[in-house]
Structure 1
Amino acid sequence: MRRFGRTVGRVVGTTFGTAVGTTARAVPGVMIGLITAGLAVGVGELVAVWSGPQTAPAIAVGSAAIDLTPTPLKEYAIRNFGTDDKPVLLTGIYLTLAAIAVAAGILAVRRPMVGVGLVAVFGAVGAWAALSRPTARGGDLWPSILGAVVAGAAMVLLVRSYQASQSPEESASRLPPWAQDRRGFLTLAAGAAGTAAVSGLVGRTVVDKRYNVALKRSRVRIPAPATRAAAIPPAVHPNVAGLSSFITPNSDFYRVDTALVLPQVDPDAWTLRIRGMVDRPLELSFAELLNRPLVEHDQTLSCVSNEVGGPYVGTARWIGASLADLLREAGVQRGADQLVGRSIDGMTIGTPVESVLDGRTGLLAVAMNGEPLPIAHGFPCRMLVPGFFGYVSATKWLVDLELTTFADYDSYWVRRGYSKIAPVKTASRIDVPKPFAKVPAGSVTVAGVAWATHRGIDAVEVRADGGPWQLARLAAADTPDTWRQWTHELNLAPGLHKLEVRATDATGAVQPEQRVDTVPNGATGWHSVVITAA
């Protein structure tokens, strides 16, 4: 019995000692991995000062990830994270990098070249991602390559220092004496970590300062438009608390795009090319664009990713040059049926040429709600064509217009399963009361918005609990290109109630009941809210 006890004790002791030893080896490996990953990112940020913010390793990988993400997953991200989808993506990239770095560091303690190999893979992926962008240049790969080289060298140095601190007789000849003990290893680790932090901070700070065009934007003066929009009737907005403002403030206007970092376009260097199937290719500077007769126009813009009752819709007063006039100056050739707008970051959007030339107010917009376009909304120039979802009509950071055909070219979102042509669908939304609100029983004010851009809204109906539809009171109309607000009074008994809304556009088309997903050309269905009257 005593012998059995001693045997068990030895087994337990050996197991415990092995676990402690394994943990002891893992901690330095984790440290080495995270520090070298920080160096790769930090040095990459620093090198991006010369090659541009979009070439920094995490940004390059994130942008490539956006392009490679299947459409259903993109829609899921927009639906669940909204305008926070990009920070969520970047957070995921950094966490993935950290996990790979930890594995690389732990492996490197035993087999340094395996860890360095993982660092090299990270660098190669970053370089590939940077070069995969439509606007890539050869120098875009350097942030990822140089970051990986510095990280790999640091990993070798740190691993050797750690090994020397554990077995000085094996590694003494490889390092200076001060780096061969525990204190030397920690000094090296602290120095590398500091270098990673400083390089990343300096790189990001300089990049933000060097490429930020906010100051130049603040100096832009938009000339008075030659064609002014009519004054918005005061009665367009019922006085109901919680109802969306008729004109959406720039700070509240939705933003849905694929740009992981906002393109910073210098208006002094900006040019717009009009080319392809035209008789006379044109090129305009920003000053020349501002010198053209400008048009002021109110338009509601909506995103194809907007679900029934969703927030990705807003109305603004825009100022810009006539898109149709420019195309006529260029001379559209017979057979050209698609106008492809290209953003400075490579995004492409295809618009039917006939809809640009049919009399609607299509603009090369330079101002939004009385100020130069916000950077997030396309400064210095974006395209707008009423009647279509943004993905086929509203190129931001516009630098190129190409006349071509739908048969010859598929734009970015079309290649990902969306329709080539997508008119805005007749839609309506209940803003008041909010979902799951508790309201006093009796007379309850219901209010909201309805839109059918370029067709206009003729009627809105509301009902409670599946009862008969009742006509809502429409607010005054601005133009057919803007949404229309509405109100209605319902008499509700105490209890749970389901409120629904539907709209009828100026062509007589009634908003359909059937729920349809946002892909391939926009959602349909009646918006509803459930509330409690007490």
Structure 2
Amino acid sequence: MQTTQPPTQPEQTPPPEAQARQELFANGFLAGLAAGILATGIMLLLNIEFHGVSLPEEMGSWITQLMPAPLFAFLHQLIGDDAKHVLVAIVVVGQCAVFGLAGGFFNQVSGHSSSAHPRPDGKSTTMRWSAGLLLALLLWLFSGLLLLPLFGSGLFGANTTSGLSGSMWSMGVVGLVYGLLYVLLRNLFSVREQVAKEALDAQAARERSRQTRRDVLRSGGLVLGVGVMGYLAWRFISNGLGSAGTNVAHITQNFKRKIVPPPTPNYGTLQPAQNLSPELTSNDQFYTVSKNLVSDPTVDARGWHMEIKGQVRTPYTLNYDEILQMPTRQQYESLMCISNEVGGPYMGNALWEGFPLSTLLESAGVKEGATKVVLHAADDYSDSIHLSKALEPTTLVAVRMNGQTLPQQHGFPARLLVPGIYGMKHVKWITGIEVVNYNFQGYWQNRGWDDAAPVRMTTRIDTPLTGATLTDGRTSYIAGVAFSGNKGISQVDVSLDGGASWQRATLKKPFSQITWVLWELSWTPKAGQYSVVARAIDLEGNVQDPAIASPAPAGSSGYHTISITVR
């Protein structure tokens, strides 16, 4: 009995025209991607060294503006201190991908035009340099007329610190680097591909290449996806495990918001305890936070000036030499970032030197009806404080920090100090002080963060570290810092049983009412598992809020809790 095999379907292959277009796109994409990586590096370098415009910086700022404050705070907590770097990496990778796509599509179009030198067999091999100049021009126009306005930076970055001219020339340089390198690499890839085709069967080589690329992309994407998800899951789990078991319901139920009269501070001498924060934070250890994704501004004092303007009778301008001649005074003050988690690291205490902001405002003569003072910075940052706060004697324009000229990363040549409110209001790199008669909303307020931003009282346990193991019967010290903005600290209580009972800690007398307070509790532990909690009471008798709240939009609250083992 004879059997017949069903006819096999011939393998479907793309038409020659489609294959040619795919090859053109692939070559153009690879050339565009490689050229884009270098061009992006040049862009970031020009931004850091010569104040050129940075598309990743502008796009990152735009993304954070679209992001609700709770989501921003959640991602910051989930990813940690590297959140800004992760965002930068994502934006930079995205920009390089756009460069690659631009190269791929441009090569498809130019592959059938006179911009390429045809071979006798009709295939395009080399591209003229003029095509690279055309591509550079198109990208320059696309960035200046579409992207930068979309990001709120104005036509050709007119609203950025770089200004119109600075943005136009820096984008021009980046475009030229990209366009010329693209042509060079595109031609190189084309020649190499042509040589390979002469040695191998074109269709077989192409199929093997496609399959390999698919496998690499699939496996690479899988590994990347698993890695990212694993990392985020690890951060989420570790953060969750790191929060020791506090009986929040019990603490909240028995919470007394205010004590009248306020407790008398229990000042005394503290014993040296490992990991306890120093009373003064050195300049290099003082936390730094800014909106900038790539780099903070480097201000040259020789060309810097500060304008006092707006709703004043006599606007004027000061240069750096003039502000150094103003009478100054010293002030110990602690700062805390509004994005600081309970027990977080974004706190510091320093000796500042400067002059009251009120001195500048009185010289200018504030007009009736003025309500707020807006601070403008060299990195396009802005924020505002109420006029009454600006006139307080402790609101300073600082020019020195811990006995040194104000460091660049902390706001040189001049920054604001506003005791009692979070660090986002302590504007760095001041270039303008503007008095206004309306409710100005600053950079972070437009992104959903609180405008008043009073510091919420907090206590941090510095030592022992969570998860530590102590020795049964050996005297140990539980110690840390407490801070309430401008209300001082009268008492710190420590619980060794998750908040069921409390012991009063010894306080080190602080430098001032607007600094943090160091505290310590001596303890001779017995074997077992302990959940250690700390809380504070300010000089007005207000008790630290035990209710757990994330930093967004008005600062975190809750009691710092650690778990320790005694053996």
TM range (shorter): 0.7 to 0.9
Amino acid at match of 1:522: G
Corresponding residue for 1:32?
A: 31
SS class of match (1:240)? coil
Q: 1:255 aligns with which of 288, 291, 294?
A: 288
Contact 1:461 1:470 in 2 (8 A): yes
Q: Residue 181 of structure 1 aligns with which residue? A: none
The code of the aligned residue for 1:147 comes to V
Does 2:462 align with 1:431? yes
Q: What is the aligned counterpart of 2:87 among 81, 86, 89?
A: 89
Alignment partner, residue 413 of structure 1: 444
Distance 2:302 2:564 in 1: 53
Match in the other structure for 1:333: 367
Write the letter of the residue equivalent to 1:484: V
Q: Is the CA contact (8 Å cut-off) linking 1:42 and 1:147 kept in structure 2?
A: no
Question: What amino acid does structure 1 have at the position aligned with 2:40?
Answer: V
In the TM superposition, what are the counterparts of 1:377-456 in structure 2 within 5 Å? Answer: 377-392=410-425, 394-405=426-437, 407-442=438-473, 443-456=475-488
Distance in 1, Cα, partners of 2:454 & 2:45: 45
Residue 144 (str. 1) matches residue 171 (str. 2)? yes
Equivalent pair of 2:313/2:366 in contact (CA under 8 Å): yes
3-state SS of 2:284 partner: helix
- Among candidates 474, 485, 496, match of residue 464 of structure 1: 496
The letter for the 2-side match of 1:524 is S
Q: 1:320 to 1:110 in 2, by over 3 A?
A: same
Deviations 1:375-409 (A, max 9, x none): 111001001021111223x110001111124x442
CA distance in 2, matches of 1:46, 1:356: 37
How many positions carry a matched residue from both structures?
A: 462
User: Aligned AA for 1:448?
Assistant: G
Using the alignment, how far apart are the partners of 2:182 and 2:406 within structure 1?
Answer: 46
C-alpha distance in 2 between matches for 1:58 and 1:481: 38
The yes-or-no answer on 1:357 pairing with 2:391 is yes
Q: How does 1:100-179 map to 2 (within 5 A)?
A: 100-105=98-103, 110-112=108-110, 123=143, 127-128=148-149, 129=151, 131=157, 133-135=159-161, 137-139=163-165, 140-148=167-175, 151-152=178-179, 155=182, 158-159=185-186, 162=189
Q: How does 1:61-76 map to 2 (within 5 A)?
A: 61-76=59-74
- Structure 2: segments with no counterpart, 5+ residues: 113-131, 196-266
- Mapped partners of 1:96, 1:332: distance in 2: 47
Instruction: Report the Cα distance in structure 2 between the residues aligned to 1:76 and 1:437, rounded to whole angstroms.
Output: 27
What is the one-letter code of the residue matched to 2:72?
Answer: K
The 5-angstrom pairing of residues 259-278 of structure 1 reads 259-260=292-293, 261-278=295-312
Match of 1:512 among 533, 545, 564: 545
Distance, in Å, in 2 between the alignment partners of 1:132 and 1:77 is 31
For the residue of structure 2 that corresponds to 1:55, the secondary structure is coil
Kept in 1: contact 2:460–2:534 (CA 8 A): yes
Contact 1:236 1:477 in 2 (8 A): no
User: Which string of whole-angstrom CA distances, capped at 9 and with x for unpartnered residues, describes residues 35-56 of structure 1?
Assistant: 2313533564687699x33414
Aligned partners of 2:307, 2:277: CA distance in 1, in Å?
A: 38
Q: Is the 8 A contact 1:501 1:527 kept in 2?
A: yes
**What is the match of residue 338 of structure 2?**
304
- Give the CA deviation at 1:152: 4.3
Query: Which amino acid in the other structure matches residue 469 of structure 1?
Result: W
Which residue type is aligned with residue 334 of structure 2?
T
| Offset at residue 333 of structure 1 (A) | 2.6
> Structure 2: which amino acid aligns with 1:376?
Q
Q: Which amino acid aligns with 1:439?
A: L
AA in 1 matched with 2:353: I
Flag the 1:126–1:445 CA change in 2: closer, same or farther, 3 A: same
How far apart, in 1, do the equivalents of 2:285 and 2:45 lie? 33
C-alpha deviation, 1:519, in angstroms: 2.0
Q: 91-100 vs 60-69, which deviates more?
A: 60-69
Alignment-derived partner of residue 184 in structure 1: none
Q: 1:285 to 1:161 in 2, by over 3 A?
A: closer
Look up the SS of the partner of 2:95 in the other structure: helix
Output the TM-score relative to the length of structure 1: 0.76
Preserved CA contact (<8 Å) 2:456 2:555: yes
Residue 321 of structure 1, CA deviation = 1.5
Residues 57 and 517 (structure 1), Cα distance of their counterparts in 2 relative to 1, 3 Å cut? closer
Question: 2 CA distance for matches of 1:384 and 1:513?
Answer: 28
Residue of structure 1 aligned with 2:327, choices 293, 300, 308: 293
CA-atom RMSD, angstroms? 3.7
TM-superposition CA deviations, 1:416-450 (whole Å, max 9, x none)? 22222122121111111111111113443210100
Give the match for residue 41 of structure 1: 40
Aligned to 1:347: 381
Does the aligned pair in 1 maintain the 2:40–2:92 contact within 8 Å?
no
More deviation, 322-331/371-380: 322-331
Greater Cα offset, 109-118 or 149-158: 109-118
Contact in 2 for aligned 1:40/1:144 (Cα 8 Å): no
| Deviation (angstroms), 1:347 | 1.0
Distance 1:491 1:237 in 2: 16
- Whole-angstrom distance in 2 between the partners of 1:453 and 1:322: 18
TM-fit CA distance, 1:80: 4.6
Note the residue ranges of structure 1 that are not aligned, 5 or more in a row: 169-233
CA contact (8 A) 1:343 1:397 kept: yes
CA separation of 1:491/1:73 partners in 2, compared to 1, >3 Å: closer, same or farther? Answer: same
**What is the alpha-carbon distance in structure 1 between the residues aligned to residue 347 and residue 46 of structure 2?**
39
Give the deviation of 1:488 after TM superposition. Answer: 0.7
Tell me, in whole angstroms, the C-alpha distance in 2 between the residues paired with 1:474 and 1:99.
56
Structure 1 residues 350 and 248 mapped into 2: Cα distance closer, same or farther (>3 Å)?
A: same
Q: Pick from 513, 517, 522: which aligns with 2:555?
A: 522
C-alpha distance 34-476 of structure 1, shift in aligned 2 (>3 A): same
How far apart are 1:149 and its partner, in Å? 5.4
User: Partners of 2:185 and 2:7 in 1: how far apart?
Assistant: 41
Q: Which residue of 1 aligns with 2:242?
A: none
